[in-house]
Amino acid sequence: MTSDIRTERGRVELAPHACFACGELNEGGLRLVLHAAGDTCWTELVLDARFAGWEGIAHGGIVTTILDEVMAWSLVGLDAWGMTARLSVEFKRPVPVGQTIRGEGHLVERRKRLMWTTGRLLDAATGDVYAAAEGLYVAAPEDRRQALKERYRFRIVPEDETAAGEGGRMIPGTPGVGVR
């Protein structure tokens, strides 16, 4: 692990966009609210029944999407924007829809443009692990990283700053990221 990890801690804020996982403009998406601290990213959410595979159980692709998202955003402490190169998920038990779950991603190693991560999806109340993952991400080249940061107006909002502070707002009734 490198020692050049930033220590900012807070909610990830992005300009409105249509990403299935974290975009507030995607009405059919997850609209994840992401939080970052150093080499870690996490989110908590309640999956709606529309994300079920079998009745009452989250579809494996949705579980994988959540894990991919928190692992990818765990790179933010290095000011890196990565693309998924490899992702492996171990499903340990069915993920219920309708109850609070927590996704966590952690950066574990970096070598030049390659970054290895781990992730878990947990029952937010008990800590029971539903799924665990490992991922390999390739950092975007500097010019692409800068363009992405500008396009999405990326910033970390301190946890104690309200969504209405500094000109931001939240869409009422939706678990989306803050917008400007």
User: What is the per-residue pLDDT across 79-124, written as a single tens digit (0 to 9) for each?
Assistant: 888 899 999 999 999 999 999 999 999 999 999 999 999 999 999 9
Question: Phi/psi at 60 (nearest 5 deg)?
Answer: -60, -30
Asked if residue 3 is part of any domain, the answer here is no
Write down the pTM of the prediction: 0.85
Number of folded domains that form the chain: 1
What is the CATH classification number for the domain harbouring 38?
3.10.129.10
- pLDDT tens digits along 36-93: 998 999 999 999 999 999 999 999 999 999 999 999 999 988 888 889 999 999 999 9
Is the CB of residue 41 less than 8 Å from the CB of residue 71?
Answer: yes
* Residues 75, 180, 49: CA angle, nearest 5 degrees: 70
172 in a structural domain: no
Residue 174 counted as domain residue? no
Containing domain of residue 54, as a range? Answer: 9-167
Contact (Cβ atoms closer than 8 angstroms) between residue 133 and residue 72: no
Nearest to 132 by CA among 29, 52, 63, 53: 63
* Residue 173 counted as domain residue: no
Largest CA distance in the chain: 45
CA–CA separation, 24 and 36 (whole Å) = 18
